[in-house]
Amino acid sequence: MGKKSRKSKKDSPLSPQSISKGEIFRERIEKINPNILPELKKRPEFGVRINRHLADLEVVEELKREGFDLRPVQWYPYLFTLPMEQRREILNTSAYTGNKIYIQSPSSVLSALSLNPQPTDWVLDLAAAPGGKSLIFSEVAEKVSAVEPDKKRFFRMKRNFKEHKAKNIQTYNKDGRFIYKSCPGWFDKVFLDAPCSSEAHIDLEKEGLTWWNLRRIKRFSQLQKELILSAFRSLKPGGTMVYATCTFAPEENEEVIAHLLEREPSARLVEVEVPISNKMEGITQWEGKNYPDEVKKCCRILPSGAYTGFFFAKIEKEK
């Protein structure tokens, strides 16, 4: 009798392995918040931000005259949402091709604004590509240093900054885990949108779980723990940093924050006022692990409308 084909053991979309992986994913997400899964299947709106280096609110009136249904976001005058049906169409406008507008989730913008950059600040964006948040910082802060280790992503990011006329951004093709060694305590503000398992962008209708698994989450968690220590050690005493991801997994969120608090006694979590209702505080228990009560000050944005799932925490370094 011939050997059984090994193909049956591979994770095809319809195999038992794939189904069980989907069940594990759904179970985990339900445990975090049962309102997440229904919203993951919806993508009704998207966000558009005005590039203040090249445009002002007049570009909004131009787009409205062209028939675009821009709706203002109440907490930021340069951010608007549109129906998803208009996304492809807006990519062909002179406003988009001329880099006057930038497509960006309100969740992403909200996390960047929570850093509260000031005109005299030197901001470090530690895992910066594609560069949307660095562009926000560059509209306010005196100087921005954007770090990206992946060479292809780095050069795309550099081109992005050039096209959007952000002249106060310095770029570095470096591994963020070791930045603190060359510039310890240099920066007024640090932003770390860490590489993650990107659970908020999984499309359950289109085999979105192909690359998702628990081993990958653990690998990202280890990388994030190294990056957050580097970010914090690059921060000036009295400075502020924000840690963010676009994933739901507590291993990549609260656990990483708990790791920083354990390793760095001068780290202090700050509660952020988040002007939306689709949010929840950080969780203190997950899969048999207990996190300090302080992680309740973290914010998890739940997907809704133009808002994609997001997590962020604001941290101060005591003087």
> Under DSSP, is residue 158 helix (H, G, I), strand (E, B) or coil?
helix
- Is the CB of residue 234 less than 8 Å from the CB of residue 228? no
Q: How many residues make up the chain in this entry?
A: 319
- The position carrying tokens 């996390």 is 111
- Is the CB of residue 260 less than 8 Å from the CB of residue 316? no
* Rounded distance between C-alpha atoms, residue 227 and residue 177, angstroms: 5
- Is the CB of residue 154 less than 8 Å from the CB of residue 148? yes
246 is an active site residue:
yes
For residue 130, cis peptide bond before it (omega within 30 degrees of 0)? yes
For the stretch 128-137, what's the b/e string if a residue is b when 16 or more beta carbons lie within 10 angstroms of its beta carbon? bbbbbbbbbb
Catalytic residue among 183, 196, 246, 298: 246
Across the strands, what pairs with 194? none
From the list 198, 195, 222, 194, the residue with the least C-alpha distance to 25 is 198
AA letter at 241: M
> Under DSSP, is residue 2 helix (H, G, I), strand (E, B) or coil?
coil
Pairing of strands 285-286, 235-245: unpaired
Structure tokens at 153: 């992503």
Would you please indicate which residues are annotated as catalytic (active-site) residues? 246
